[in-house]
Amino acid sequence: MAEDMARSGGATLRGRVRIDAPASIGHRYMLQPVLEFRTMYPEVEIDLSFGDRPSILRADGFDILVRIGDPYPDLADARLLGQTRFVHVASPAYLERRGTPTSPQDLETHDCITYSTFEQPGGWSWSFERDGEAIRVRVPSPLSFNDGAAIGAAAAAGHGIARTLKMLVADQIADGRLKPVLEQWSVRPIPIRAFAAADRSKLPTIQAVLSLLQGIDWTGGSGAEITQQP
């Protein structure tokens, strides 16, 4: 439980805040801002957990959850932090060796790198749409991970075509290590949200951490297709 004891005037914040975020998002976007926050507010204790499973705010002891595209948990104060989207990427070497897919169905003859979880091992079907046409493809998956950074690294190493978040591979696309494919098949924007326990969200320490999260550049400084929200 986050015990907030803000001094009169709010000059000093004290207490513990427990946050849970996906590992790849937490390492890339949250770790450094959290360390800087601790320098500014040394009496705030932060427990930052990098998880990959459904969590419940107070039942699991968390004050704040950061999630990509998840539905609103019950009894939560939700804040929109930004948007990202899925992209399909592969290394130039892989595409030279195996060819570039021109339709979603072509993926059935490719090695695909998928995201999997304990709840649904073996990856997911990939969905596509264009001009009102919707397609779902169950792709072959010789490699699957429950971590976005691992998916991007495997794709950059030439192991297949990956479906991953643009915010996690924007740098690799920019420097040519990864090349997008099937760009004409749109993928809808995905919200990035922070969920705070409703009974704690108005406390000064929780508000300060939520403000910290809303101030992060979730684009990573690149990737024009990722929309930063106010």
**Does the 8-84+190-214 domain belong in CATH 3.20.20.70?**
no
Q: Looking at the domain that runs over 86-181, which CATH code has it been given?
A: 3.40.190.290
- Which tokens is 230 given? 């106010």
Please state the domain extents for the chain: 8-84+190-214, 86-181
Alpha-helical segments (H) within 2-119: 23-25, 31-40, 92-98
Per-residue pLDDT of the chain (230 residues; tens, 9 = 90+): 333 333 333 458 999 999 999 999 999 999 999 999 999 999 999 999 997 666 666 656 889 999 988 777 777 889 999 999 999 999 999 999 999 999 999 999 999 999 886 556 555 789 999 888 899 999 999 999 988 999 999 999 999 999 999 999 999 999 999 999 999 997 788 999 999 988 889 999 999 999 999 999 987 654 434 444 43
Q: What is the pTM of this model?
A: 0.82
| Strand order across the beta sheet in which 15-22 lies | 44-51, 15-22, 64-68, 190-197, 76-84
